[in-house]
C-alpha cells in the first residue's frame, strides 16, 4: 500500500488530506464491461478518490481517503459488483514496501469452481437429450409444477440450468444493479425467460454453452496476460547484499540506494547500479532487446533483469527496486492500457448503440411475428424457399437467439487485446510504447525524421584533426578548447577533453562560462574572453576567417603568409566536405585554430532506412544541427530521401511542422534530450538509447531502449501489423454478428450457433488473432513473409 497526498483534499486545519492507494487483483475482471461494473460499484463508495482499472491485467488500483473509507469498503464494493478479489499490494513486516501483484496470477481455468459446474451442467444436458430423443420410453413424468408435468429429461435440464446457469444469472443480477446492459445481463435474462415459459432445452443449452464460452474467453485472456507476467518475472525477488563485510540475501525491495550487491556468473542482476568491482559480459536483452552480450567493467551501468554471462560483478545500487529501469518499463507498459485509442473510443460509442438496438430487435422478433403471422407463410430469399412459422415458441427462440447476438463482447475486446499484445511484444524486444494511441499512430506514419548524432551515427565523437592558425600551436588550440569545454556536456566537449588528455595538455580554470544555444560556448581565461563553437559564431563577430594556418601548427614563413597555406574558411570547407564537424577556437577578434571531429555511422543505419522505405514509409528525412557538408556526407552514406542541416532546436520543430503539412504524419527519432522539442511536436516521438535515461522515457511516446536503429523498422512493421489486426478483428466480429442476425428470422441460426460462433468463436478468434503480434520478433523484419509479404 502506498501513501500519497490528495492535492485537492485540504482539511479544515489547512493540512493536505492523506490518501492511501491499494492495488487489488481481480482476475475475473477481464473485459471493458466488467471494468465499468466495478467502476460503478466503487463510485458508490464515499471516500474513493481515484480508480485505475486494467481488465487486461486483472488489477484495480484504488486511491481513497482513509478517514471516509477503508480497504474493506473498497474490496466489498468490487465483490458487490460480482468480482472476487484474490490479492493485494502489501507491506513487508520490516516496513519495506514490496512491489505488489501487478498482473492477475495464472488461473486454473479448467479446474476452477466455475469449470466444475460447467462440466456437471454439460453432463446433465447430455443425459437430458438422451432421454428426450433416444430413450423416450423411459422419459416418464416424475413430478409436476402448477399442473405442468416434469419428465426425467426436464429434471435433468433444470439441474443443468441450476448448476451452470446460476453463476450467469448471479452476474446478470449484478449487471442490472449497476445498470449495465452487458453480456451477463442479456444471458441471465435469456436463461430465466426460457426457463420461466418451459423452454428447458433452450435454457439449459444456453447456460452450458455460455459457461463454456466464458471459460474459453478466460483462458484466452489468461494467455494474453502471460506476456505481462514474463516482464514481471525478469527481475529476481532477492539480492545478495554486502553488509558489514558479510553476504546477506534479502528481498530486492529492501536494498537501499548505495548498498553493494554481488552477482555471480549466470545470475540475474536484481537492481540498477554501477559496477565497482569485477568484469563480465552481460545479457541486456530484457531491457534493450539486444541479444549480443555487452562487456561490463568498473564504472559501467547495469540494469535489473539483465543476466551475467561468465564473470563476477559487484555494483553499487543507484535506484530502489520500484524505480529501476525494468520497473519503469513495466509501469509504463501497464499504464499504456489506460490510454484509450480513437478506435477503442469509436467501438465503445458504437457498442452503446448496437446493443440496445439489437435487444429491441430481439424483443420485436419474439413478439411481432406471432401476432402478425397466423400459421405459416412461405417466402423466397435469393431463389431459396423458406417457411416462416407464426407460433410463439419458434419466434421466442429466435428472439432469444438475437439476444445472444446482441452481446458486443468480441467487438469491444478486439482493440484492447491487440494493443496489449503489441505493446508487451515490443517491450520484450527492447521497444517501449507508452500507449495504444502511439502504437496506432506509428502504423499510420508517412514520414520518419531522423536526428543525425546518436541516431544515424553512434554519437561517440572523436577529434580527427587539429589545425593551428597564425602563430598558434596545436597545444595552444587544445589548451583553450579543453578549458572551455570542461564546463559543457555536449558530445563534442567530451571528444575535445579526451584528445587533450591523450596529448597531456593541461588546461586552466575558466570564469564567466556561458553556453550560446546552438552555436557554442564562451568563457574568460586569464582575463580574456575565448570562444569555442561553430564557424558562424565567429563570423557573426566579424572575425576574419581568411587567416591562414599550417596543419602542423608551426609558425608561418613568408611564402605561406603570401597565400600558399589554407585559410580558415578553406580548412573548414575541406573538413565539412569529408563529413566532419568543425569547431573553431579563438577570441572575439582572432581564430587560434580549427578542431575537426567525426562520428561513425551506425553499421545498420543504411539498412534501417532502406527497410523503412520497403515497409511503406513514403519519405525518410534527416534533421541535424550539424553543418551542410557533414549533413550531406552522412545523408549520402545512409540513403535518406532528404536532409536539413544547421538546424537549431526550434528550427527542428519548424521542420517537423513543414513535413507534416507537405507529407502527412511524422515520426521524429532523436536522443530524447537535445531533440525534446521536436519529439514533442511530432505525431510520434521516438527516443534512441533510453535505457536508464529518465528524460528520454518521459519525453518520448516510444523509446528504443538500446542504441539499435534496427529496432525502428521492426517498430513500424509491428505497429502497421497491429493496425491491420485491429481492423480485421473489428470488421470480422461485426460481419459475423450481422450475418448471424440476418439468418435468425429465417431460422438458419439457432441459439447454439449464436453462442458458439457469434460469442465464443469470435471472442476466441479476435484474441487469437491479436496474439499473433506477440510472436513477431525484430529479426522477422528482414522476412517479408513474417508480415504477410508485400
Residue 667's pLDDT is: 94
Which is it for strands 511-516 and 702-704: parallel, antiparallel or unpaired?
A: unpaired
3-state secondary structure (DSSP) of residue 755:
helix
Q: Which of 30-44, 70-84, 343-357, 608-622 has the highest mean pLDDT?
A: 608-622
555-569, 572-586, 711-725: the lowest-pLDDT one: 555-569
Confidence of residue 783 (pLDDT cuts 50, 70, 90): very low
Which is it for strands 684-688 and 666-670: parallel, antiparallel or unpaired?
A: parallel
Could you tell me the three cell numbers for 513?
562560462
* pLDDT for 618 beyond 90: yes
Residue 107's pLDDT is: 62
Asked whether the beta carbons of 5 and 18 are under 8 A apart, the reply is yes
User: How far apart (Å, rounded) are the C-alpha atoms in residues 588 and 599?
Assistant: 28
* pLDDT for 760 beyond 90: no
Q: Which of 268-277, 350-359, 750-759 has the highest mean pLDDT?
A: 268-277
Which is it for strands 511-516 and 619-623: parallel, antiparallel or unpaired?
A: unpaired
Could you tell me the three cell numbers for 36?
465499468
Average pLDDT of span 747-771: 81
DSSP string, 201-220: HHHHHHHHHHHHHHHHHHHH
* pLDDT for 562 beyond 60: no
User: How far apart (Å, rounded) are the C-alpha atoms in residues 343 and 480?
Assistant: 58
Residue 7's pLDDT is: 45
Confidence of residue 95 (pLDDT cuts 50, 70, 90): very low
User: How far apart (Å, rounded) are the C-alpha atoms in residues 187 and 688?
Assistant: 50
- 143-175 confidence digits (pLDDT tens): 777 667 888 888 999 999 999 988 888 888 888
Confidence of residue 691 (pLDDT cuts 50, 70, 90): low
Average pLDDT, the chain: 80
Burial code (b: 16+ CB inside 10 Å, e: under 16) for 87-106 equals: bbbeeeeeebbbbbbbbbee
Residue 328's pLDDT is: 76
pTM over 0.75: no
If one counts every other C-beta atom within 10 angstroms of the C-beta of residue 772, the result is 16
pLDDT above 90 covers a percentage of the chain that reads 19
* pLDDT for 27 beyond 50: yes
| Closest by Cα among 547, 521, 517, 546 to 532 | 521
- Bridge partners of residue 22, in order along the sequence: 62
Average pLDDT of span 48-59: 82
Average pLDDT of span 60-78: 89
Placement of cell 575565448 in the chain:
530
Residue 551's pLDDT is: 47
* pLDDT for 69 beyond 70: yes
User: How far apart (Å, rounded) are the C-alpha atoms in residues 456 and 255?
Assistant: 39
Asked whether the beta carbons of 31 and 411 are under 8 A apart, the reply is no
Q: What 8-state DSSP symbol labels residue 641?
A: S
User: How far apart (Å, rounded) are the C-alpha atoms in residues 257 and 488?
Assistant: 28
Mark out the alpha helices in 88-178 (DSSP H runs). Answer: 113-133, 152-177
- 642-686 confidence digits (pLDDT tens): 999 888 878 888 999 999 999 999 999 987 556 778 888 899 989
Asked whether the beta carbons of 518 and 648 are under 8 A apart, the reply is yes
Q: Looking at per-residue confidence, does 68 or 291 come out higher?
A: 68
Average pLDDT of span 254-273: 91
* pLDDT for 410 beyond 80: no
What are the catalytic residues? Answer: 451
* pLDDT for 14 beyond 60: no
If one counts every other C-beta atom within 10 angstroms of the C-beta of residue 528, the result is 9
Amino acid at each position: 500500500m502506498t501513501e500519497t497526498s490528495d492535492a485537492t483534499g485540504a482539511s479544515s486545519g489547512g493540512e493536505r488530506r492523506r490518501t492511501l492507494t491499494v492495488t487489488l487483483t481481480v482476475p475475473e475482471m477481464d473485459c471493458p464491461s466488467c471494468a465499468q461494473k466495478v467502476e460503478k460499484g466503487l463510485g458508490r463508495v464515499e471516500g474513493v478518490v481515484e480508480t485505475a482499472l486494467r481488465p487486461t491485467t486483472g488489477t484495480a488500483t484504488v486511491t481513497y481517503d482513509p478517514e471516509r473509507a477503508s480497504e474493506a469498503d473498497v474490496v466489498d464494493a468490487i465483490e458487490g459488483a460480482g468480482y472476487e478479489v484474490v490479492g493485494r499490494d502489501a507491506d513487508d513486516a520490516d516496513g519495506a514496501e514490496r512491489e505488489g501483484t501487478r498482473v492477475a496470477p495464472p488461473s486454473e481455468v479448467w479446474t476452477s469452481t466455475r469449470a466444475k459446474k460447467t462440466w456437471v451442467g454439460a453432463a446433465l444436458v447430455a443425459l437430458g437429450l438422451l432421454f428426450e430423443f433416444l430413450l423416450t420410453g423411459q422419459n416418464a413424468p416424475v413430478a409436476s409444477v402448477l399442473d405442468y408435468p416434469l419428465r426425467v429429461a426436464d429434471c435433468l435440464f433444470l439441474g443443468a440450468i441450476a448448476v451452470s446457469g446460476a453463476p450467469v444469472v448471479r452476474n446478470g443480477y449484478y449487471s442490472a444493479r449497476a445498470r449495465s446492459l452487458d453480456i451477463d445481463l442479456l444471458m441471465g435474462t435469456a436463461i430465466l425467460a426460457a426457463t420461466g415459459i418451459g423452454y428447458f432445452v433452450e435454457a439449459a443449452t444456453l447456460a452450458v454453452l455460455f459457461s463454456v464460452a466464458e471459460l474459453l474467453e478466460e483462458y484466452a485472456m489468461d494467455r494474453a496476460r502471460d506476456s505481462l507476467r514474463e516482464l514481471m518475472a525478469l527481475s529476481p525477488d532477492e539480492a545478495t547484499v554486502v553488509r558489514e563485510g558479510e553476504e546477506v540475501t534479502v528481498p530486492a525491495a529492501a536494498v537501499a540506494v548505495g548498498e553493494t550487491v554481488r552477482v555471480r556468473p549466470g545470475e540475474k542482476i536484481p537492481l540498477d547500479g554501477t559496477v565497482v568491482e569485477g568484469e563480465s559480459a552481460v545479457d541486456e536483452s530484457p531491457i534493450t532487446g539486444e541479444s549480443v552480450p555487452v562487456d561490463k567493467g568498473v564504472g559501467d551501468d547495469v540494469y535489473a533483469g539483465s543476466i551475467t554471462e561468465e564473470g563476477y560483478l559487484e555494483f553499487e545500487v543507484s535506484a530502489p527496486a520500484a524505480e529501476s529501469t525494468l520497473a519503469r518499463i513495466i509501469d509504463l507498459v501497464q499504464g499504456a492500457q489506460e490510454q484509450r485509442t480513437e478506435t477503442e473510443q469509436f467501438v465503445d460509442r458504437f457498442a452503446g448503440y448496437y446493443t440496445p438496438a439489437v435487444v429491441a430487435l430481439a424483443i420485436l422478433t419474439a413478439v411481432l411475428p406471432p401476432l402478425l403471422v397466423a400459421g405459416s407463410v412461405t417466402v423466397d430469399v435469393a431463389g431459396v424457399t423458406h417457411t416462416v412459422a407464426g407460433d410463439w415458441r419458434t419466434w421466442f427462440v429466435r428472439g432469444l437467439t438475437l439476444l445472444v447476438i446482441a452481446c458486443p463482447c468480441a467487438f469491444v475486446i478486439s482493440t484492447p487485446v491487440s494493443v496489449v499484445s503489441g505493446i508487451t511484444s515490443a517491450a520484450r524486444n527492447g521497444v517501449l510504447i507508452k500507449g495504444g494511441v502511439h502504437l496506432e499512430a506509428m502504423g499510420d506514419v508517412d514520414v520518419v525524421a531522423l536526428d543525425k548524432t546518436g541516431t544515424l551515427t553512434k554519437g561517440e565523437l572523436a577529434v580527427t584533426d587539429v589545425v593551428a592558425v597564425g602563430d598558434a600551436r596545436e597545444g595552444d588550440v587544445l589548451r583553450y578548447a579543453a578549458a572551455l569545454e570542461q564546463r559543457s556536456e555536449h558530445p563534442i566537449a567530451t571528444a575535445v577533453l579526451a584528445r587533450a588528455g591523450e596529448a597531456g595538455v593541461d588546461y586552466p580554470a575558466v570564469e564567466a562560462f556561458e553556453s550560446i544555444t546552438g552555436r557554442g560556448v564562451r568563457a574568460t581565461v586569464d582575463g580574456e574572453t575565448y570562444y569555442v563553437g561553430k564557424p558562424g559564431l565567429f563570423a557573426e563577430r566579424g572575425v576574419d576567417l581568411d587567416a591562414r594556418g599550417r596543419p602542423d601548427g608551426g609558425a608561418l614563413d613568408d611564402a605561406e603568409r603570401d597565400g600558399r597555406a589554407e585559410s580558415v574558411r578553406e580548412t573548414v570547407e575541406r573538413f565539412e566536405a569529408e563529413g566532419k564537424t568543425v569547431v573553431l577556437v579563438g577570441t572575439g577578434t582572432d581564430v587560434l585554430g580549427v578542431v575537426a571531429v567525426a562520428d561513425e555511422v551506425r553499421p545498420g543505419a543504411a539498412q534501417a532506412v532502406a527497410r523503412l522505405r520497403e515497409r511503406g514509409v513514403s519519405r525518410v528525412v534527416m534533421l541535424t544541427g550539424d553543418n551542410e557538408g557533414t549533413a550531406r556526407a552522412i545523408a549520402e552514406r545512409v540513403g535518406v530521401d532528404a536532409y536539413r542541416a544547421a538546424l537549431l532546436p526550434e528550427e527542428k520543430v519548424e521542420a517537423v511542422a513543414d513535413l507534416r503539412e507537405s507529407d502527412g504524419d511524422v515520426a521524429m527519432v532523436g536522443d530524447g534530450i537535445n531533440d525534446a522539442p521536436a519529439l514533442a511536436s511530432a505525431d510520434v516521438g521516438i527516443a534512441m538509447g533510453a535505457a536508464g535515461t529518465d528524460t528520454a522515457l518521459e519525453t518520448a511516446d516510444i523509446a528504443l531502449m538500446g542504441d539499435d536503429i534496427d529496432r525502428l523498422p521492426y517498430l513500424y512493421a509491428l505497429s502497421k501489423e497491429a493496425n491491420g489486426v485491429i481492423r480485421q478483428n473489428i470488421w470480422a466480429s461485426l460481419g459475423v454478428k450481422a450475418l448471424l442476425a440476418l439468418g435468425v428470422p429465417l431460422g438458419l441460426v439457432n441459439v447454439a450457433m449464436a453462442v458458439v460462433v457469434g460469442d465464443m468463436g469470435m471472442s476466441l478468434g479476435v484474441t487469437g488473432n491479436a496474439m499473433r503480434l506477440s510472436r513477431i520478433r525484430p529479426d522477422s523484419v528482414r522476412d517479408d513473409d513474417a508480415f504477410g509479404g508485400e
